[in-house]
Amino acid sequence: MPGILRLPASYGTLNFARIKPSGRAVVEHRWPLTHARRLVDVVDVTEPNLMREQFPYDRPPKVLFDGVDVALDPPGEIVITDTTFRDGQQARAPLEVAQITQLFDLLHRLSGPNGVIRKSEFFLYGVRDRQAVAEVLSRGYRYPEVTGWVRAKREDLRLVRDAGLSETGILTSCSDYHIFLKLGWTRRQALDNYVGVVSEALAQGLRVRCHLEDLTRADVHGFVVPLAQRLMALAEEARIPVILRLCDTMGYGVPYPGAVLPRSVPRLVHVMTHEAGVPSAWLEWHGHNDFYKVLINASTAWLYGCAAANGTLLGYGERTGNTPLEGLVFEYAGLMGGLNGMDATAITEIAEYMERECQYPIPASQPFVGRAFNATSAGIHADGAMKNEEIYNIFDTGALLNRPPAVNVTDRSGVAGVALWIRQHTGRNLSKGHPAVEAIHAWVNAQYAAGRTTAISDEEMAEQVTQRLQEVTLS
């Protein structure tokens, strides 16, 4: 399935023509790995480098530029991964096993036969967590693959084996904020500990995913590159992939060309592929939305060589949340030129289930899932929508999401909004000058003149339509 993204002629043509909807595992790679030319050692400092020139703390963080840019370098395949049942559960009351199972069924349907949503990550520490893992594994789905998450402790690997999983995430915090201030280690101690735990996991035959926590505040060349190079050496020795999750834990990442490390998403990915020797297929981006960049950063990571983008259903996650999975679905479709077998109507069912059964509130205007994401309240927009649906609808939301465009009737809707509501809810194509339409419009205006501040409900509109049409008939 060829991509459709085009850049100015001076940049050549970027497309994903070599990305084939084969459903093959993204972790496949030919051995031996192509290592970086120069192996580097960790810079073992005595005091943490908190990068105050970028993170002053008493002021908003600064975005610095040095003018160094890197080229777009899309990978051979891009996929989506899910952490709804791990990071997503850190933000809300825990889901019941039955709720997790139902959502996993819907996630499987959304993923489609080609496994675009390739993996789903689970906690393993609680009884309920392990019950949920057992339940979703019993479904027998190929996609999403169920994976685990554990701390960087050898004894915790038993949880992964006991759950019957082939892959687990391992927490490998990499900034001095975490290494010095949280863990109380030196960089050397952190590196040695992480390498030791990963070595043990590989010896047990596990596929490892190292979560490079707080990467966007880390010393990339002083710690991250040396760690990544050693992890790649372990992978090659064991002939088992070691995936690196690039964690923008605090949402500091920026997509801007020429921005400096460690905040530059393009340069972070480039360093991993070109200096640390990590295959694109073994890179995964994980972002947070603290500065409203969670989706664009994930897309940027894809474009610069990171194969997987990680997200959660509805974007729920720690603090401001993670990349919304539904956003990644349509970003993928835009870059790839199609959904590659994904069933996007499952998004609507997921949102309805999470709001109804899990009590997860969804803002009305949230893209793709909010009650009013494709609804207009403006009369001038309603007038355009009456002439042609495409004018004010992002795509065929009725076909792709089972969410036809809608109208909210308020004092801003005008007669066009009233007429459009009647057409959508009754199928009657009344003109803006129809007596019933004008009567309902007058009633709406009277409501707001009397101090009303809420939209007219569908029930009220239905009652008004019935009443006014009867009045017109009798007259």
- Domain locations along the chain: 64-356, 375-474
Position 421 scores a pLDDT of 85
The chain-wide mean pLDDT, for the chain, equals 91
The β-bridge relationship of strands 375-376 and 308-311 is: unpaired
More reliable by pLDDT, 54 or 388: 54
Say if residue 337 is exposed, middle or buried (CB neighbours under 10 Å; 0-12, 13-18, 19+): middle
153-167, 267-281, 366-380, 443-457: range with lowest mean pLDDT? 366-380
More reliable by pLDDT, 17 or 98: 98
The band of 92, judged by pLDDT with boundaries at 50, 70 and 90, is confident
Q: Which two tokens stand for residue 280?
A: 């694109």
Listed in sequence order, the residues at least 6 apart from 339 whose beta carbon sits closer than 8 Å to its beta carbon are 112, 116, 329, 332, 333
- Identify the CATH class of 64-356: alpha beta
The band of 20, judged by pLDDT with boundaries at 50, 70 and 90, is very low
**Quick check: 7 pLDDT over 90?**
no
pTM for this entry: 0.90
Position 202 scores a pLDDT of 98
- Average pLDDT value for residue range 377-403: 81
How many residues are there in the chain? Answer: 475
Instruction: Please give the Cα distance from 148 to 289 (Å, whole number).
Output: 23
**Quick check: 2 pLDDT over 70?**
no
Q: Which residues is 285 bridged to in the sheet?
A: 246, 309
Instruction: Please give the Cα distance from 84 to 101 (Å, whole number).
Output: 12
Position 8 scores a pLDDT of 43
pLDDT digits (tens, 9 = 90+) for 343-360: 999 999 999 999 999 999
